[in-house]
A and B are shown apart, each in its own frame.
Chain A
């Protein structure tokens, strides 16, 4: 956040945006655009496409801040819009024609359950198994499981055919099952990493 930034919390800002407060939108942008840009860049390396997605995300929030139902993290709400806008931007960029979306925002992607699993994952056997997957299989898993995209959307994000996404997910899950076959306790205990500090 920049110095002198808005002190209101995210939900209050969203409510102000719903009321037409442009300053609140700017404050929301200042707070969230940075990490959103980083997270989207991890899905798509093209900076101009990511820029468009970020602009469209906050534009969608401006147009329909009421889509936030008050449940869950505002950051997750923004991410749900952001990833879908990124897919739209990629689709536009690749020139494929399609019907434009009726609603300007879509329901937020719920990833909190997976989040718990993923924190500290690099140290468990699940993490090791994931690391042993080939990058394309991992990317397919990330798109469908972490980002909660449909196979069609994941196909656009990854730039492959929908069938390819499906088969990659299938192979990824099979490989994980094999790798974890003799590690039944992988998910229940995850060791602490020295690189993580307690504040």
Chain B
């Protein structure tokens, strides 16, 4: 069991006076898990600890049974890792294929032909087969993000860590992204972070809500939506009793509050509702 999962216990890390992570316990299994939370909630820190980039101040980390505190095991973890950092930078002069070739070397694919095969494979996976010779600086934001995802896929990682992978992608690209993740060979452990609830609903069978360095929910998106049951209603006009109100797509007002007033229309709670309710409860909104 331990050999096939990623486990984190009591993880803490601070930057100066800020507690980025505060006693986080988490287990990640095969399949897709989404980290949902606002910017600054600690998602990026958590992911960078899992990616062996940052060392925690306290707590235990176990990736497929390997301990990143040990140097040799850390390298072994990195062999099985695919990482997409937030706002990945590129060398200005690189072409798409040259960049992927470079990352493939970093992943210890030494043989030139094998590298070419891997590069071809990941380019096909993200639908960029014909763009190998384009300079990266001529690519649009959406394509750059696809390229960033492609580099994470090199070497068929068993643990895929994606920090805000859907940033800059339009709806169609998000769909393709979801398809891509579901069809990855080898059924890896995938964890991605986002601050948009509809990404979670669309892509992740498991969601973890991270607020202010702590985990406030871990379960299915449906269960998260369920937590908002009885707390969500719609009305023609804005209701002052609600904690949060906004206009929805039907030009009605949607409200989230402590208790649905008896005289209002129920609304089917969504993942976003559950998330907003949690955010409010922890005082982050």
Which residues does A use to contact B, with CB under 8 Å? 22, 52, 55
> A22–B113 contact, CB under 8 A?
no
Which residues does B use to contact A, with CB under 8 Å? 113, 133
Task: Give Cα A55 to B133, complex, Å.
Answer: 18
Task: Give Cα A59 to B133, complex, Å.
Answer: 15
> B133–A52 contact, CB under 8 A?
no
**In the complex, chain B residues whose CB is within 8 Å of the CB of A22:** 133
List 3 contacting pairs A-B, 8 Å CB cutoff, sorted by A: A22-B133, A52-B113, A55-B113
**In the complex, chain B residues whose CB is within 8 Å of the CB of A52:** 113
**In the complex, chain A residues whose CB is within 8 Å of the CB of B133:** 22
Task: Give Cα A102 to B174, complex, Å.
Answer: 48
Task: Give Cα A99 to B165, complex, Å.
Answer: 46
Give, as a whole number of angstroms, the nearest-CB distance from B50 to chain A: 37
3 cross-chain pairs, A with B, having the tightest CB-CB distances, nearest first: A52-B113, A22-B133, A55-B113
Task: Give Cα A91 to B113, complex, Å.
Answer: 16
Nearest A residue to B130, CB-CB: A22
Give, as a whole number of angstroms, the nearest-CB distance from B138 to chain A: 16
Task: Give Cα A22 to B113, complex, Å.
Answer: 19
Nearest A residue to B113, CB-CB: A52
Nearest B residue to A20, CB-CB: B133
**In the complex, chain B residues whose CB is within 8 Å of the CB of A55:** 113
**In the complex, chain A residues whose CB is within 8 Å of the CB of B113:** 52, 55
Give, as a whole number of angstroms, the nearest-CB distance from B242 to chain A: 59
Nearest B residue to A56, CB-CB: B113
Task: Give Cα A52 to B113, complex, Å.
Answer: 8
Task: Give Cα A100 to B259, complex, Å.
Answer: 78
Nearest B residue to A55, CB-CB: B113
Task: Give Cα A55 to B111, complex, Å.
Answer: 14
Give, as a whole number of angstroms, the nearest-CB distance from A56 to chain B: 9
Give, as a whole number of angstroms, the nearest-CB distance from B17 to chain A: 55
Task: Give Cα A55 to B114, complex, Å.
Answer: 12
Task: Give Cα A135 to B242, complex, Å.
Answer: 91
Task: Give Cα A22 to B97, complex, Å.
Answer: 14
Nearest A residue to B116, CB-CB: A55
Task: Give Cα A90 to B232, complex, Å.
Answer: 71
Give, as a whole number of angstroms, the nearest-CB distance from B130 to chain A: 9
Give, as a whole number of angstroms, the nearest-CB distance from B201 to chain A: 41
Give, as a whole number of angstroms, the nearest-CB distance from B181 to chain A: 30
Task: Give Cα A52 to B117, complex, Å.
Answer: 12
Task: Give Cα A96 to B257, complex, Å.
Answer: 76
Task: Give Cα A22 to B130, complex, Å.
Answer: 10
Give, as a whole number of angstroms, the nearest-CB distance from A19 to chain B: 14
Give, as a whole number of angstroms, the nearest-CB distance from B133 to chain A: 7
Give, as a whole number of angstroms, the nearest-CB distance from B131 to chain A: 11
Task: Give Cα A55 to B285, complex, Å.
Answer: 58
Task: Give Cα A55 to B115, complex, Å.
Answer: 14
Task: Give Cα A148 to B77, complex, Å.
Answer: 52
Give, as a whole number of angstroms, the nearest-CB distance from B74 to chain A: 33
Task: Give Cα A52 to B112, complex, Å.
Answer: 11
Nearest B residue to A51, CB-CB: B113
Give, as a whole number of angstroms, the nearest-CB distance from A63 to chain B: 14
